[in-house]
Amino acid sequence: MGGRGGRPLGLGPVFAYEWITSTRRWQGYALRSSFVLALLVALTVVWRGRMRGLDETSLRDLARLGESFYLGVTGTQLTLVLLAAPAATAGAICLDRARGTLAHLLVTDLTDREIVLGKLAARLVPVLGLVGGTLPVLAILTLMGGVDPDALLAATAVTLGVAALGCGLALAFSLWAGKTHEALLGTYAVWGLWLLAVPILTRLNGVTGLSLPVPPRESDPFYLAFAPYWYPGRVGWNEYLGFLGATWAASALIAAAAVVRLRPVALRDGGPRPGLSPRVARRAAELARALDPTRRLPGPSLDGNPVFWREWHRNRPSPWARAVVGGYVMLAAAFSVLAVASGSWMLAVFVNGLQVSVGLLILGVTASTSLAEERVRGSLDVLMTTPMTTRQIVFGKWLGSFRAAPLLAVLPCAVVLGCGRGGAWRWAGAALMAVYVVGCGAAVTSLGLASATWCPRLGRAVGLTVAAYVLVTVGWLFLVIATMSPEPYGISVISASPFYGPVAVTVESCRPTERGSHSLAVFLWGVAYAAVAAVLLASTLAGFNTCLGRVETGLAWYGRRGRRRLNRGRVEPVAGLKYGEW
């Protein structure tokens, strides 16, 4: 059988081209090697932490070590695939639409199936290679007796299903969304509704007395991955194969929908779009601007930092992005009110830890795409040809993304104030929560900006940011649990995780039996994150001109007098030149 043009049916030239170009880059090999090396280092750390103080190592100790490491690696890998696989796929089509290369593909004899499936497979294969690279390390643990080979294969099947579904969702949102971060927001919104449906509906039924339908627990990938150890005998291979088949079938249906809608969506680019008339659309935009609560807030001045002023006023969120962010804010506010009204400190702990970690993830994605998208589209070259210094550009980009970080602390501080103990405890807890969240937000913003500066490709920049955030948030959590006991230093050390830090603050502020023994550690972690943010921002400033090919006379750290003194007798600054174009 043959496709159009006499070619055999298959993934097509798009997959061959993108696969060959991606395999020739050293970053993919470095990523897989670094991840496997990190697993081996973590195994060594867990071994030394568990076997410390033991005169003899029994088979039971080896089995417990293998089980602890399996749980940590499986949880970290599953979370990484959930978040990083969509990050690597979200710009597959929307960037080609913005640059105009998708129109060039559509005028060739390539079929829509070859374009869509080729791009999907080219993004999915590296993710599958990353999952396959961890199998030899986890297979070593089966020699210790604590890891069941069937459990290992079952967890791998769950991860493969999640990877396929995540890449398919991100590709579909990349077709319909206008920008990469909007496609990622849509994918993460679907993940949130899927993963949190069971605990949210269960909690609502318990608090309100309703009988809302709850999805089966077998639909949760984390439940399936940990079931052999946490719920032995409840899940069999039928559930695992059913989950794998359902996720791959859903991914196939989503890819088929993207194939069908590829040309109709692409044909709307650059032409009149069906919808409201221009007059009605203008009236609706004026009404939305009048109802915007942030319109009257004081903003930056144009003379202070033009880049920050531009970031403040440009690229207003699209209706799609507004819907996703608005849904997140509404859910966070609703559950915050529910936690305060119920007076349950356990619900308050769950709400604060989840909304802070999810909010910081969205902040990191926004920070990395704010620079990476402009770099891919070419608008950053125009910005770099202006007389503005590199320091103004970098600080303007950083402030434009960081402005959302203080807002992430509003609802957690309100929950602490509403559920906290009387006296100064609640106010101290709210202040500590604000310091910690703002410090983490500064670090995540600097990480996203640094990744976008160092990585020329948008998918890699976003993927690096998400992967680093997952390792700090989830990987550190499992590593400390596997190596340390809660007391006396375990909780203080694990508070470095952006998920557990708000949990520790909420517990010590709202639980009557706690005495605030770990508040100092949480405060120090917040200060440490602020220091990390400063170091990453300084490294971004140092390498910005080199990575982006900007030639600037003088040093950005000097004031006007220093630059004037350095410019004497020298040529005027030339911006936007690449190396080799002199």
Predicted confidence (pLDDT) per residue in 177-201, tens digit:
777 878 888 888 888 888 877 777 7
> Does residue 397 carry a pLDDT above 60?
yes
Residue 570 has pLDDT above 60, yes or no: no
Lowest mean pLDDT among 167-176, 339-348, 393-402: 339-348
Looking at the DSSP assignment, which residues form a beta bridge with residue 8?
Answer: 2
- Where is mean pLDDT largest: 42-51, 214-223, 534-543, 545-554? 534-543
The DSSP element (H or E) to which 96 belongs, if any, is helix 94-99
| Confidence (pLDDT) at 181 | 78
Asked if residue 144 lies in contact with residue 66, where contact means CB atoms within 8 angstroms, the answer is yes
- Which has the higher per-residue pLDDT, 195 or 449? 449
Residue 250's pLDDT is what?
A: 92
The answer on pLDDT for 117 being more than 60 is yes
Which of 530, 317, 326 has the alpha carbon at shortest distance from 441? 530
Is residue 440 over pLDDT 90?
A: yes
Residues paired with 2 in a beta bridge: 8
For residue 220, the Cα-to-chain-centroid distance in whole angstroms is 20
Q: Is the pLDDT of residue 3 over 70?
A: no
Average of per-residue pLDDT across 457-470 = 83
Q: Are 444 and 469 in contact (CB under 8 A)?
A: yes
- In the structure, what pLDDT confidence band is assigned to residue 282 with cuts at 50, 70 and 90? low
pLDDT at 295: 55
Q: Which token pair is 556?
A: 């950005």
pTM of the model: 0.78
Q: CA–CA separation, 179 vs 194, rounded Å?
A: 23
Q: Dig out the tokens for 356 from the structure.
A: 């802070």
Q: What does the pLDDT look like over 499-524, one tens digit per residue?
A: 988 988 888 887 755 555 778 888 99
Nearest Cα neighbor of 396 from 405, 385, 383 is 383
Residue 391 confidence (pLDDT) above 90: no
More confident residue, 32 or 530: 530
State the pLDDT confidence band at 577, using cuts at 50, 70 and 90: very low
- Say if residue 111's pLDDT is above 80: yes
Each residue's pLDDT tens digit, 137-181: 878 777 767 678 888 888 889 999 999 999 999 998 888 877 787
**To the nearest whole number, what is the mean pLDDT of the chain?**
78
Q: What is the structure's pLDDT at 377? A: 73
**Could you give the 3-state DSSP secondary structure of residue 131?**
helix
Which residues have CB under 8 Å from 553's CB, separation 6+? 563, 566, 567, 570, 571, 572, 573
Read off the tokens for 528: 């440490």
